Amino acid sequence: MIRPASLPDDSADALKRCFDPVVDAGTRLLILGSLPGEKSLAHSQYYAHPQNKFWMLLGEVLGVDLKSLPYDERLASLLAHGVGLWDVVAQAQRTGSLDSNIRERDDNDLLALAASLPRLHTIAFNGGTAAKLGVKVLGEHAQRYRIVSLPSSSPAYTLAYAQKLQAWRQLSTA
């Protein structure tokens, strides 16, 4: 389901690649990040940094303790709830994990993925960079979907957890 990522490398010319999408025919909500960070790449897992609140936030929205599940079960639970994951950026050069360091990027074909998902009606962006880039990639086709821009689950985005959760709860209607 997930292809091996590039190994973590702090050099400026390190090419980082996203993981394969986690989707199936039942996906109705697609959550898009920007590009996996160093911890995620090292573990070949979405949102692997222990301080990233993604699994807690989405778990509260879905009513499932995702954080306590083994990774494969987390993904299976998302699919069972009609939730898919992917990233806007297919590959890029980036030092470290900050989105502001993304350079020389190639974007994923979000339109092709969205077209392959017959039940998809909501696309949510995890963070400002994902939203900014993703809306551009979708272009006029964004009108076909409910677009939700969420505060980043990353520890680098220092908004209080309660405020992040309040915003993420809008996914419960997706």
Side by side, the strands of the sheet bearing 83-87 are 83-87, 29-33, 122-126, 146-150
The C-alpha atoms of residue 137 and residue 10 are separated, in whole angstroms, by 27
Q: Is 75 helix (H, G, I), strand (E, B) or coil?
A: helix
DSSP state for residue 97 in the 8-state scheme: S
The C-alpha atoms of residue 124 and residue 147 are separated, in whole angstroms, by 6
In DSSP terms, which residues pair with 134 in a beta bridge? none
The C-alpha atoms of residue 142 and residue 134 are separated, in whole angstroms, by 9
Question: Is residue 126 flagged as an active site residue?
Answer: no
Tell me which residues are annotated as active site: 52
